[in-house]
Chain A
Amino acid sequence: MFDAWRYLDHGEPGQDPASRKPNPDFILNQARYAGASILIARKNFGCGSSREHAPWALDQFGFRAILAPSFADIFFNNSFKNGLLPIVLPEATMDLLFNEALAFPGYELTIDLDRQVVVRAQGEEIPFEVQAFRKFCLINGFDDIGLTLRQADKIKAFEAERLATKPWLAHTL
Chain B
Amino acid sequence: MPRTLYDKIWDEHVVHTEEDGTAILYIDRHLVHEVTSPQAFEGIRQAGRKVWRVSSIVATADHNTPTTGWERGYDGITDPISKEQVTTLDANIKEFGAAAFFPFLSKRQGIVHVIGPENGATLPGMTVVCGDSHTSTHGAFGALAHGIGTSEVEHVMATQTLLAKKAKNMRVSVEGTTHKGVTAKDIVLAIIGKIGTAGGTGYTIEFAGSAIRGLSMEGRMTLCNMAIEGGARAGLVAVDDKTIEYVKGRLLSPGTDKATGKFVGGAEWDQALAYWKTLHSDADAKFDATVELNAADILPQVTWGTSPEMVLSIDGRVPDPDKEKDANKRTAIERALTYMGLEPGKALNDLFVDKVFIGSCTNSRIEDMREAAAVVKKLGLKVAKNIKLAMVVPGSGLVKEQAEREGLHEIFKAAGFEWREPGCSMCLAMNADRLEPGERCASTSNRNFEGRQGMADAPIWLVLPWLLLLPSTGILLTCVNSLKGHKTCRNSPYTKASWLPWTARTWTPTRLSQTVFKIHQKNRFWT
Known: A145-B154, A145-B158, A169-B126. A50 touches B147 (CB 8 A): yes
For chain B, what secondary structure do more than half of its interface residues adopt (helix, strand, loop), or is it mixed?
Answer: loop
Most interface-central of B131, B198, B202 (chain A CB within 10 A)? B198
Number of contacting residues on B, CB 8 A?
70
Do the beta carbons of A168 and B253 come within 8 Å of each other?
A: yes
* Minimum Cβ distance to chain A for residue B248 (Å): 12
Q: Any chain B CB within 8 A of the CB of A105?
A: no
**Cross-chain contact of A13 among B39, B81, B451 (Cβ < 8 A):** B81
Do the beta carbons of B15 and A155 come within 8 Å of each other?
A: yes
The CA of A134 and the CA of B165, in the complex, are separated in Å by: 11
**Cross-chain contact of B151 among A4, A13, A71, A144 (Cβ < 8 A):** A144
Contact segment of B16-24, B210-218, B483-491, B509-517? B16-24
Q: Any chain A CB within 8 A of the CB of B495?
A: no
Do the beta carbons of A132 and B253 come within 8 Å of each other?
A: no
Which residues of A sit under 8 angstroms from B161, Cβ to Cβ? 148, 155
The CA of A145 and the CA of B29, in the complex, are separated in Å by: 18
Do the beta carbons of B447 and A48 come within 8 Å of each other?
A: yes
Contact segment of A27-35, A73-81, A107-115, A117-125? A73-81
Q: Any chain A CB within 8 A of the CB of B449?
A: yes
Q: Any chain A CB within 8 A of the CB of B26?
A: yes
Known: A155-B15, A168-B253. A47 touches B198 (CB 8 A): yes
The CA of A152 and the CA of B133, in the complex, are separated in Å by: 28
Which residues of A sit under 8 angstroms from B165, Cβ to Cβ? 131
Which residues of B sit under 8 angstroms from A165, Cβ to Cβ? 271
The CA of A72 and the CA of B149, in the complex, are separated in Å by: 13
Do the beta carbons of B272 and A133 come within 8 Å of each other?
A: no
Known: A42-B328, A145-B47. A52 touches B15 (CB 8 A): no
* Minimum Cβ distance to chain A for residue B10 (Å): 14
Do the beta carbons of A133 and B16 come within 8 Å of each other?
A: no
In B42-78, the 8 Å CB interface with A consists of 47, 49, 52-56
Which residues of A sit under 8 angstroms from B47, Cβ to Cβ? 145
**Cross-chain contact of B26 among A43, A155, A170 (Cβ < 8 A):** A155
Known: A151-B16, A168-B253. A51 touches B149 (CB 8 A): yes
Q: Any chain A CB within 8 A of the CB of B206?
A: no
The CA of A165 and the CA of B268, in the complex, are separated in Å by: 9
Do the beta carbons of A171 and B151 come within 8 Å of each other?
A: no
Most interface-central of A50, A55, A134 (chain B CB within 10 A)? A50
Do the beta carbons of A173 and B233 come within 8 Å of each other?
A: no
Do the beta carbons of A158 and B163 come within 8 Å of each other?
A: no
Look across to chain A and name the residue whose beta carbon is closest to the beta carbon of B328. A42
Which residues of B sit under 8 angstroms from A132, Cβ to Cβ? 19-20
Number of A-B residue pairs with CB-CB distance less than 8 Å in the complex they form? 153
Do the beta carbons of B26 and A162 come within 8 Å of each other?
A: yes
The CA of A82 and the CA of B39, in the complex, are separated in Å by: 13
0/1 string, B337-372, CB within 8 A of A gives 1: 000000000000000000000000000000000000
0/1 string, A47-77, CB within 8 A of B gives 1: 1111110010000000000000011111001
Look across to chain B and name the residue whose beta carbon is closest to the beta carbon of A167. B268
The CA of A83 and the CA of B161, in the complex, are separated in Å by: 21
Known: A4-B451, A133-B20, A172-B55. A74 touches B151 (CB 8 A): no
User: What are 19 sample pairs from A and B whose C-beta atoms fall under 8 A apart?
Assistant: A4-B451, A42-B328, A47-B307, A50-B36, A72-B201, A74-B133, A78-B151, A81-B149, A131-B20, A131-B21, A132-B19, A145-B158, A148-B159, A149-B158, A151-B16, A155-B161, A159-B160, A168-B123, A169-B28
- Residues of chain B touching chain A, judged by Cβ–Cβ distance below 8 Å, are 15-16, 18-22, 24, 26, 28-29, 35-36, 39, 47, 49, 52-56, 81, 98-100, 120, 123, 126, 131-133, 135, 146-152, 154-155, 158-161, 163, 165, 167, 197-198, 201-202, 231, 233, 251-254, 258, 268, 271-272, 275, 307, 328, 447, 449-451, 456
A-B contacts besides A72-B201, A133-B20, 19 pairs, CB < 8 Å: A48-B449, A50-B133, A51-B131, A52-B149, A70-B198, A74-B147, A77-B148, A132-B20, A145-B154, A148-B24, A149-B159, A151-B15, A155-B161, A158-B15, A166-B271, A167-B254, A169-B56, A172-B98, A173-B251
